[in-house]
Amino acid sequence: MKLLKPLIVTGTSLWILSYFLPTINIGDWTTLILASIVMVLVNQFVRPIVKLLFLPINIVTLGLFSIVINVGLLWLVTYLVPGFQITNMVVMGIHLNQFFSILLASILIGLVQSFVAFVL
């Protein structure tokens, strides 16, 4: 039950963003559900360990290294879930490589998750 609300919020956020952003590719509903499950599990179990390992760097950078951790964890989810991809994107005529595409997707996923969690 503790993981059910984050699972619903994450699944809804991924579905909304995949609808509006052509750079987030989710094959079908099973891929969406699998990506949501993996993302919730990574956020619940892997994220605290990684944040603890990189705590000194995070303190020195005043928390900005958390953004790099978020990008790395989202990349891990795209690596683990077949059919879930974040491809290169073009923003205002500027071609972004995969790192910056995942960075933008990570920021947008966080914003949409906050909004969906507020609504629920």
Determine the average pLDDT of the residues in 62-68: 89
Q: Sorting pLDDT into bands at 50, 70 and 90, what band is 21?
A: confident
User: pLDDT tens for residues 30-53?
Assistant: 999 999 999 999 999 999 999 999
The band of 1, judged by pLDDT with boundaries at 50, 70 and 90, is low
Say whether pLDDT at 118 is over 90: no
Average pLDDT estimate for 49-67: 92
66 backbone dihedrals φ, ψ, rounded to 5°: -60, -30
CB of 40 within 8 A of CB of 4?
no
Q: What are phi and psi of 3, to 5 degrees?
A: -95, -5
Alpha-carbon span 78 to 73, nearest angstrom: 9
pLDDT in tens, 85-99: 988 888 788 888 888
Distance CA 51, CA 43 (A): 11
Sketch the domain layout of the chain as residue ranges: 4-119
* Cβ-Cβ contacts under 8 Å for 104 (sequence gap 6 or more): 23, 89, 91, 96
Average pLDDT, rounded, for the chain: 89
Q: Is 86 helix (H, G, I), strand (E, B) or coil?
A: strand
